[in-house]
Structure 1
Amino acid sequence: MQIQTVTTLIWFCVTVQYSWASICKNLNVSLTQKIDGEGFHREINWLLERNKTTFPCKLIIKLDLSPEIFINPDQIADLNRLGDLSIFIDGDVDVEVPAHLAEKYSVYVFVSQIEEKVSFNVPFHLRYQRAQISGGFGKVLLNKPSILAKCPQKCSKTEVAAPCDIANKNQCVWNNVSYQALFDEVELLVPVGDLDDYPLVSVVTLLLGCAGCIYTLSVLSTTPL
């Protein structure tokens, strides 16, 4: 009887191991991406689709942002609070600095575990770039996102440290998994200042500043004490 019990237990463990291995090989995750908006203020629209075998796994969309792009932490905090998104920003974001003074960082979008199709609308902004002779447009490459999974069984050989959730900065071990990307690589255009206009802009700015000072002094001089 004891030998039979041990045999049954071994068979059960092997079956469970094979089951999780099968799930990991068939995550069947696809991602569609569309960029809306023009100018400096844009929005990423993602549609993530998966099959039911993926449900035991937690998923994250990880996006590495170049210095030319930033996501406003206050805006994301409001969206997190309202329940529209679940995003963790890994890094300090200065929304005021231009592109050549900014740093790279990553954002993690946590995916609901109970839906086969999940859509996300993530607002982002392009930074001002250095002015150039003759102006024109600068090119900004939006990196292809990664998808990380945390399943009961390890799903790939590539392990990645990422936040456990948006409320916990502690790092958990996730697996970088392959997915079907239903979109092409995106290159965005951002307006760039024209150095040829620098003398005119400087003169106009100086004149407006002087006019403002004269007006302020005239108002102060006519105001009774």
Structure 2
Amino acid sequence: MQVIFYIFVLGILLLFLYFFHRLIIKYFSLVSFLAFGTSKIGVYLYFLFFLPGVILHELSHLFTASILGVPSGKLKVFPTKTEQGWSLGQVSSAETDILRSSLIGLAPIVVGTASLLVIVNLGLGIKDLAKNILLLYLLLAFTNTMFLSEEDRTSIWAFPSLLVILFLFGRAMGWVGVLTTVENLFYQIVSPLILSFSLTVLVDFLFFLPLVLLVEILLRIRA
């Protein structure tokens, strides 16, 4: 039951992170439209502000494809208009089996989450204000670019489904020792992850507030 509770808490925190991610995108567009009469400038401002995260997102696809032996195209990091909206970067990869495709698609959220853990662990021991501001910025940049695009989500469930099947198979076969080791590893990873996600939700919220204030100011000016 404790495992389920931890997964539930992680899920709630991820929902909050995604909620703020979407709100921040929306308010960048609103600020751009109210200030310049077009939301396109907001896309470029968002791209420039979150550029480190965009690069990390695309590199995670590229390196994962390379590690798995899947041929990939050139790395493109620049806003382009697509049928679904805007794309901030792109790495094309050859068609492959569903498992490797799932791992390539999941790479940004796995690498992004690992980056958050590293940043939070580094920040806990740093008392230098400038370095802490830099770490908070990277936390913000990586969080708001680690979520998967529509193209990334096409086959992401294959690998998680395989893990669930292996877990259930292990329980059925009575692999108590193996499952206990896996459960202990789960707690070692998830406990700091909950702390990292909680801090990131707070950072997103604090970043979002000035955007709301800026929109209100621009609305009053236009009125």
Q: Mark yes or no: TM-score above 0.5.
A: no
TM-score (norm 2): 0.25
If asked which structure has higher relative contact order (CA below 8 Å, sep 6+), I would say 2
Larger proportion of helix: 2
* Greater Rg by CA: 1
